[in-house]
Amino acid sequence: MISVRKLSKRHGGVPVLRDVSAEITKGETIAIVGPSGGGKSTLLRCLNYLESFDSGEVRIADVDLRPGMVGRDGETLRALRTQVGMVFQQFNLFPHLSAIDNITLAPRIVRKLERGAAEKRARELLARVGLADRAGAFPHELSGGQQQRIAIARALAQDPQVLLFDEPTSALDPEMRDEVMKVIRDLAATGMTLLVVTHEMQFASDIASRVWVIDRGTIAEDGPPSEVVDKPQTSVAKEFFGRLRRHSS
């Protein structure tokens, strides 16, 4: 489903990603963890081309990405947007649109879906995330957890093959985090391919098929949670998980 080859990116001359290579098969859930500033969010943004990269290759959901894609590559990037959804830390809902209008906007504009069909699908997705009764609510009328669940429904409205989550629970209190994590668990159980940047290690251990520890722009460790989380091999992973355990105790 995803193939990354020697992906590198710099910000202002400073390396952020360094020759990252990885393979992800359909239906895997990858939990991406590691110290702040290590390149986790940048990697996600390169995978859906919200940020370009300087060298390397990405193939994701049968879409090929390369450095320097611009306007003439619009058709490729439109295909990418329909196949790869993203959920952000801060929800990014349009404040002037109701929940159902936030969800139907992209299918109607990008896929030219008729309003009735788009709204029917949106109501199905609202029920899926437990918010069937909030279709007409505006973002300011919703809790943070509800807004994030609407954002997930919006990402699902394009019927993507891959969903990317950039710390989807870090802006939420514990009860709201549980609401959102339940939705992500349910998605993982359906066999959708997920990449989740998270600091919720119990959550990562529960749902991930693999855990990546990213530090200084590289994947320092990659393996099942039982190995990476419980028996880390690299010094950066040992220090990272040790610090999390100390803070939680």
Residues 233-245 pLDDT 10s = 999 998 888 887 7
Structure confidence by residue, pLDDT tens digits, 118-148: 999 999 999 999 999 999 999 999 999 999 9
Rounded Cα distance, 169 and 183, in Å: 11
Contacts of 63 (CB under 8 A, 6+ apart): 76, 79, 80, 83, 84
Which structure tokens are listed for 130?
């437990």
How far apart, in Å, do the first and last CA atoms of the chain sit? 38
**pLDDT: which is higher, 248 or 36:** 36
User: What is the structure's pLDDT at 230?
Assistant: 87
Average per-residue pLDDT in the chain?
Answer: 92
Of 214, 162, 204, 215, nearest to 187 by C-alpha is 162
For residue 165, the surrounding DSSP H or E stretch is strand 162-166
pLDDT value at 247 more than 80: no
Residues linked to residue 4 through DSSP beta bridges, in sequence order: 22, 58
Question: Which three-class secondary structure state does DSSP give residue 122?
Answer: helix
Residue 71 — very low, low, confident or very high, per pLDDT cuts 50/70/90?
Answer: low
Q: CB–CB of 152/181 below 8 Å? A: no
Say what angle helices 144-156 and 115-128 make with each other, to 10 degrees: 130
**Among the ranges given (12-21, 97-106, 167-176, 210-219), the one the predictor scored with the smallest mean pLDDT:** 167-176
- Report how many helices (DSSP H) and strands (DSSP E) the chain contains, helices first: 9, 10
pLDDT value at 16 more than 70: yes
Rounded Cα distance, 184 and 180, in Å: 6
Q: CB–CB of 122/135 below 8 Å? A: yes
pLDDT value at 246 more than 80: no
Rounded Cα distance, 48 and 195, in Å: 12
Residue 81 — very low, low, confident or very high, per pLDDT cuts 50/70/90?
Answer: confident
Count CB neighbours of 198 within 10 A.
Answer: 22
All domains of the chain in start order, with CATH: 2-248 (3.40.50.300)
Question: Measuring CA to CA, how many Å separate 57 from each of 7, 67, 89?
Answer: 6, 8, 26
User: What is the structure's pLDDT at 244?
Assistant: 79
Average pLDDT of the residues in 45-69:
93
Residue 156 — very low, low, confident or very high, per pLDDT cuts 50/70/90?
Answer: very high
Strands, E, within 61-120: which ranges? 63-65, 84-87
